[in-house]
Amino acid sequence: MNNQEHTILLIEDDEVLQRFLSLALKTNGYRVLQAKEGAIGLSVVINQHVDLVLLDLGLPDIDGFEVLENIKKVSLVPVIIISARGKEFDKVSALDMGANDYVTKPFNIGEVLARIRVALRNLPMQTEKEFTYQNLTIDFDKYLVSVNGTDIHLTPIEFKLLELLVKHQGKVLTHRFIQEEIWGYHTVDDYQSLRVFMASIRKKLGQTNTNSSYILTEVGVGYRFKDE
């Protein structure tokens, strides 16, 4: 991937952090646009080409959640939240509102760069008939799943759950998002049922340790299909 083709908008009011992130992004070949206020950031998204947004939630003029909501109204651009707000509620809320990822300050720049690569990676799964990752193969037309060439039987619900995860590979899917996509509604009581389904899928895929894992748990938030 040629990073020079990608433009990243950094919406951050902390000048020290803004300079640090801007330098790191430019060093890795990205073109960087900067905004210290939410309103200016929204204007940039509307009027200029942006491939990804790094968004702080604690902005001086508009709360970051409002900025995120407005970005999603006008653009499909990926948004990664970078915030000092580390509470589970904030993470879940941001992801449910459409954020692609959530990184809590202080952070490791290598992790941020890795999550940017995931968000920018093109995965046109909606038009592909087959998905392959490591030893796992999924044929969407035939509803077939195999690991190491051996067919795996999944129930219809299990197949839909796995399909949803791989079509959003690398992105954290919240419990609420998964329930609404699969069942059309969500309840807190059904989180345990979702965990049971995920445990069954993992067992059938032979997921017994981190080396063979496909589905990762984001504790208290949801699930992510492994990418890197």
- pLDDT per position in the chain (228 positions), as tens? 455 578 999 999 999 999 999 999 999 999 999 999 999 999 999 888 899 999 999 899 999 999 999 998 888 888 999 988 878 888 888 888 888 889 888 888 988 998 898 888 743 444 467 889 888 999 987 889 999 889 999 888 899 899 999 988 888 899 888 888 887 766 655 677 888 899 999 999 986 554 457 899 988 889 999 886
Nearest to 198 by CA among 178, 176, 171: 178
CATH superfamily, region 3-120: Response regulator (3.40.50.2300)
**Domain ranges (residues) in the chain:** 3-120, 125-225
User: How distant, in Å, are the alpha carbons of 5, 154, 157, 222 from that of 32?
Assistant: 11, 44, 42, 31
Q: Measure the CA–CA gap between 67 and 186, rounded to whole angstroms.
A: 25
Asked if CATH classification 3.40.50.200 holds for the domain at 125-225, the reply, yes or no, is no
**What per-residue confidence (pLDDT) applies to 211?**
47
Q: What is the pTM of this model?
A: 0.63
